[in-house]
Structure 1
Amino acid sequence: MAKPGGVFCFEGEWEDDLAERGSVLPTLELLERLRSIRFIHRDTATPQELRYFLERWLTRKYSAYQVGFFALHGSPTRLHLTDSHSVGLAEIASWMSGQCEGKRFYFGSCSVLRASGTTLSEFLRETKAAMLCGFTKEVDWIESAAFETVVLNSMVNGGRVDSVERLVKSSRWAPLAQHYGFRIVYQNGRST
């Protein structure tokens, strides 16, 4: 049996209270136990930590981890690592310039993809990634966890780069995708 594909997850600090335990880790563990994915999960609280783990992800050693999952708070074109640290999509793209051939990005972050098509196409052009997807609106934690379970599985195991698009257009998932403004942009400029 072939090894399942890989997800490299970058997770920010969700709460100011460090005793809180909210995390996407149970979602990743569920998919791994079902033998749908393999994953690497790293907490990132500063732009420097995020950049360090992005650089590690892009090494040959982790080339089987084709999906980058950004599990952070967000606002249009920005990822929030903590309440006091954020980083823009353009800066992230510059860190990975030309190194993401064939990779797929999932931004499990509120509103990050509420950006112009030009901005998102530029991110893909700069990184050379195959596609990106995520939300244009605020999302509910529980609903988005269910949704990202099927999205991540499709991104890793769907084969074609448009497998997520086929999933979110299905009668089962289309209403939730539409409700949260789920958006997909491809390297060729096409978007949903």
Structure 2
Amino acid sequence: MVAKPGGVFCVEGNWNNDLAARGSVLPTLDLLERLGAIRYIHRRTATPQELRFYVETWLSRKYAAYHVGFFALHGAPTKLHLSEAHTVGLAELGSWTAGRCEGKRLYFGSCSALRASDTTLAEFLRETKAAMVCGFTKEIDWIESAALETVVLNNLVNGSRVDSVERLMKTVRWAPLAQHLGFRVVYANGRST
């Protein structure tokens, strides 16, 4: 019997007010699922209330196998933009999830969201109890970040070591793109790349 692949819980923001726009992280998630690398849950969110509802649901016992949280949102330093009208800070997200992300790996596919002090991110990890957080410190290009996302998500789900993404980002193949996008990893023990 083949074991089920690990799970990714993804919340994606309302990228703009154009309802006909089709930009999404869904093709990346679909690709990885079709390859048998992951299972995923994907939800769109445009308000803090929706985000909190979905995060609360994700953290319920029912979805315990979805140990990777993927926040596909616009961003700014320590902030997540859900829509043009709504923003949630990492501190607020941390208070919603306090003590309930034990062992989870959090990925912020958001421009500049991890441009923060080591102290700020260590406090976020202490509060949430997540094993690690990773994401971008710079403004990112959609296509470049999508290329990196495929290997990051696969590694977050299937890497047996919590530092498997960091190890991958130091390889000759991925290091230049990771550096160009300002990809950063911070661990619960305080270590940061």
TM bucket, shorter chain: over 0.9
Separation in structure 2 between the aligned mates of residue 98 and residue 145 of structure 1, nearest angstrom? 30
Separation in structure 2 between the aligned mates of residue 169 and residue 118 of structure 1, nearest angstrom? 23
Q: Which amino acid aligns with 1:100?
A: C
Separation in structure 2 between the aligned mates of residue 158 and residue 91 of structure 1, nearest angstrom? 29
Separation in structure 1 between the aligned mates of residue 103 and residue 116 of structure 2, nearest angstrom? 22
User: Corresponding residue for 1:88?
Assistant: 89
Secondary structure, aligned partner of 1:161: coil
Separation in structure 2 between the aligned mates of residue 181 and residue 33 of structure 1, nearest angstrom? 29
Mapping of 1:154-165 within 5 angstroms? Answer: 154-165=155-166
Separation in structure 2 between the aligned mates of residue 71 and residue 9 of structure 1, nearest angstrom? 7
User: Corresponding residue for 2:44?
Assistant: 43
Query: Cα distance, 1:16 vs. partner?
Result: 1.8
Secondary structure, aligned partner of 1:11: strand
User: Corresponding residue for 2:56?
Assistant: 55
Mapping of 1:1-192 within 5 angstroms? Answer: 1-192=2-193
Offset from partner CA, 1:13-41 (integer Å, 9 cap, x none): 11221110100001000000000000000
Q: Which amino acid aligns with 1:65?
A: Y
Query: Cα distance, 1:105 vs. partner?
Result: 0.3
Flag as ranges the 4+ runs of structure 1 deviating above 4 A: none
Separation in structure 2 between the aligned mates of residue 86 and residue 31 of structure 1, nearest angstrom? 29
Percent of residue pairs bearing the same amino acid type: 77
Offset from partner CA, 1:46-74 (integer Å, 9 cap, x none): 00000000000000100000000000000
Q: Which amino acid aligns with 1:49?
A: E
TM-score by structure 2 length? 0.99
Structure 2 unmatched runs, 5+: none
Separation in structure 2 between the aligned mates of residue 159 and residue 52 of structure 1, nearest angstrom? 30
How many positions carry a matched residue from both structures? 192
Structure 1 unmatched runs, 5+: none
Offset from partner CA, 1:129-149 (integer Å, 9 cap, x none): 000000000111011101000
TM-score by structure 1 length? 0.99
Separation in structure 2 between the aligned mates of residue 173 and residue 16 of structure 1, nearest angstrom? 33
RMSD over equivalenced CA pairs, Å = 0.4
Secondary structure, aligned partner of 1:74: strand
Offset from partner CA, 1:98-140 (integer Å, 9 cap, x none): 0011000000000000001111001000000000000000111
Separation in structure 2 between the aligned mates of residue 161 and residue 71 of structure 1, nearest angstrom? 21
